[in-house]
Amino acid sequence: MSSYRLGATRVADTFAEAFPMRFSRLVITAATADWVHQAASSATGFATSVIGCKCEAAIERPLGAAQTPDGRPGAAVLLFAMDREGVGKRLIERVGQCVMTCPTTACFDGLQGAERTVPLGASLRYFGDGFQASKLIAGERFWRIPVMEGEFLVCDSAGVGRGVGGGNLIIEAGDGDTALRSAQAAAEAMRGEGIALPFPGGIVRSGSKVGALSSKSMPASTNHQLAPTLRAQTSDTLVPDGVGAVFEIVIDGVSEDAVREAMRRGLHASAAAGATHVSAANFGGKLGEFHFPLAELRDPP
């Protein structure tokens, strides 16, 4: 495979292939930043891949009191699924189980004005067992659900937008410490408005391929082509000589441009941190409508 140099890093002349997804943004607030983190972390947990978790979610960014509807500390979280109905189901589950249960929280729609919406408080209100109350604030409907601490305030519905899921970078280095340091630098550079990195710390060590060589029942299995310990055992390895560790970063975004620019930031950050090789995963361009050639990311952000 041809490549180009970004400093000392060899960047493969390939592309990441991504797919259309639907997403919502919620703004979670609480009395303190610590309780915001507890609620947002719980609400976005077990949401690394739609394959096994039915959604992909992450904390988008922390919000100061001046940035939230109720003037308290907050966080914006993004949740992606394959369709609007999937987004709606996951929001109800996660807000009901992870945000309403967390002390002092409230939950607001972060995509007001979106073309499509899904019910949120409109469904969770039934937990109030008839004691819930509707409230209009600046023309927007909320529900006040009585709980043991007081009341949980939650938006009636949440906006749903059209996003992009599955942008990716594959980061390689001679040893595990350097590869992880490079991947961490990339993940940190990618985070920001409009971006969700759904895997732990934003980094994947167990990259997968579609199906399995040994079983027809497996929807996905280890990507043996990128496993350094299998380099001598497989004829189709993609691990370059001298590479001892490989990490992948999966990027979901609110738009094609958001994903592209996040990948650009991640590519340059990983190179600066010592990655020897950077590549990307695709399906030959046959499945995902969004393509992100690494050659187009050569210019710095």
Which residues neighbour 252 within 8 Å (Cβ) at sequence distance 6 or greater? Answer: 21, 23, 56, 58, 78, 80, 163, 164, 165, 166, 167, 195, 196, 197, 198, 259
Give the CA count within 13 Å in the CB-facing half-sphere of 48.
14
Distance CA 46, CA 59 (A): 13
In angstroms, what CA-CA distances link 195 with 57, 80, 84, 145, 182? 10, 11, 19, 31, 19
Question: Which helix (H) or strand (E) is 26 found in, with range?
Answer: strand 15-29
pLDDT at 22 over 90: yes
Query: Which residues make Cβ contacts (< 8 Å) with residue 196, sequence separation at least 6?
Result: 23, 56, 57, 58, 60, 78, 80, 251, 252, 253
Res 215 pLDDT > 90: no
**What's the pLDDT at 282?**
93
The tens digit of pLDDT for each residue in 154-181 reads 999 999 999 999 999 999 999 999 999 9
Give the pLDDT band (50/70/90) at residue 270: very high
pLDDT band at 216 (very low <50, low <70, confident <90, very high): confident
pLDDT at 287 (0 to 100): 84
How long, in residues, is the chain?
A: 301
- Residue 101, pLDDT score: 98
* 226-234 average pLDDT score: 93
pTM over 0.85? The answer is yes
What CA–CA distances, in Å, run from 234 to 44, 171, 211, 231?
A: 37, 20, 17, 6
**pLDDT beyond 90 at 217:** no
Model confidence over 181-213: pLDDT tens digits?
Answer: 999 999 999 999 999 999 999 999 998 888 888
The confidence score (pLDDT) of residue 286 equals: 84
CA-based angle 15:228:273, to the nearest 5? 60
What confidence score (pLDDT) does residue 267 get? 98
Coil, helix or strand for 268?
helix
Q: Using pLDDT thresholds of 50, 70 and 90, give the confidence band for residue 135.
A: very high
The three-class DSSP label of residue 63 is: strand
Contact 62, 36 (CB under 8 A): yes
Mean pLDDT of 47-73: 97
What does the alpha-carbon distance between residue 161 and residue 166 come to, in Å, rounded to a whole number? 16
pLDDT digits (tens, 9 = 90+) for 77-133: 999 999 999 999 999 999 999 999 999 999 999 998 898 999 999 999 999 999 999
CA atoms within 13 A on the CB side of 95: 36
**Residues of the chain by 3-state class (helix, strand, coil), percent to 5:** 30, 35, 35
Averaged pLDDT, 8-20:
97
Specify whether the CB–CB gap between 41 and 51 falls below 8 A: no
Q: Sketch out the chain's domains with CATH numbers.
A: 3-18+163-297 (3.30.70.520), 22-161 (3.30.70.520)
More confident residue, 35 or 287: 35
Token pair 């519905």 in the structure block, residue: 157
Average pLDDT over residues 141-149: 98
Across all residues in the chain, what is the average pLDDT? 96
Task: Read off the pLDDT of each residue in 271-295 and give the average, rounded to a whole number.
Answer: 95
